[in-house]
A and B are shown apart, each in its own frame.
Chain A
């Protein structure tokens, strides 16, 4: 009973998303694609922050590296497109591993601060290295395979990849590994005392989160046809973090909801005002005061444990 209800709750939006380009105008289809890939980005961040309890404050870097990796492969190498779409996320995962190795020995807030610093370093390189990355201009007019070059094509590609990744991460969260990282989040001392190599699992979780963040970045290339350094700037990391907070960090679909709300709001706001930062700040304040568990968290308090138990 509950299961079929849950399935319906999943299939209905999915059906709506499939129908969307046929009913809505082109601009809305584009916005929907941005919503989807941002939802994927926020969900990947939540793997690290919500499920593993790591202060992943620089997540946009992996998004950016995924995007640049794919963009550079498509523009500068003669490699076929599928390779480019693999290289982006793999580069993000590799960077995540390297940064993780450096940061993981620090605790909590220090981990987050060092990650922001290292991320800013990556951003600075991308920003300055005109000859390779296009500097602050970014890269534009990235050539895409015909099948995904049209607005509808890019939308469906984004939908398919996002759905696949969100499903894959959902499996991960419910695997032994997923259970263990949640255990580490709640009680690292106990986790170590039952023989779990805490750092190794944290590192693995970071790499997985970085990889899926990179996938979101690759999708950005498909939807936007361009990349620019600001997508990996730390302020955007903060924005993704707010998405997780807004939707609810301790629910699986919370960040997805939070991302949708924020992206839609940003699109709407950009028509009327230039003060996006102000709006975002206000949202953050309101969430912290009134919705400490996020929108979904409000409905499903502690749903992580309850759902996982399959009650």
Chain B
């Protein structure tokens, strides 16, 4: 069977809706009389339907997205710590080499004094741009802010889950998550109270109380 001279690329472009508008209609006319291209179009169309469906099944659960911002700021804060550390290390490495040179080149007090003055004048923490510091500061502030939000969100979610869906397991895991986030704050006490109440089945009443407290 003679193969059609039109390229398969054209069939792909047609299915993908990439054909220039002027080429679309002539191609559709051609399809009416060309079984090769018709078969190609059908098969590429099936490929896209299959992959679209399979990819649509991949979804990111809301829960996985919650910590992204906080983790980005943690990553920024960690890098700042690292650069500070590596600068201190680099500084002492430099100091060491100057010192070795000075030892072999017959020490004089003048050389020592010069080194001291040089160190005093060039504060090792000075040359780093101011921006880095504010970046770290804002990273820490953001981490704290997201932590607070996370604590509150988990408490709210825990209460909603308990109240609307009566899902004890989910409620409990939310409360534990909240407690984890709240480590070192008075919020852990709130989490503990709720956990205790959950076990004794009185969470609904404490929920009312915590609402009226706010």
Chain B binds chain A: no
Residues of B within 8 A of A (CB): none
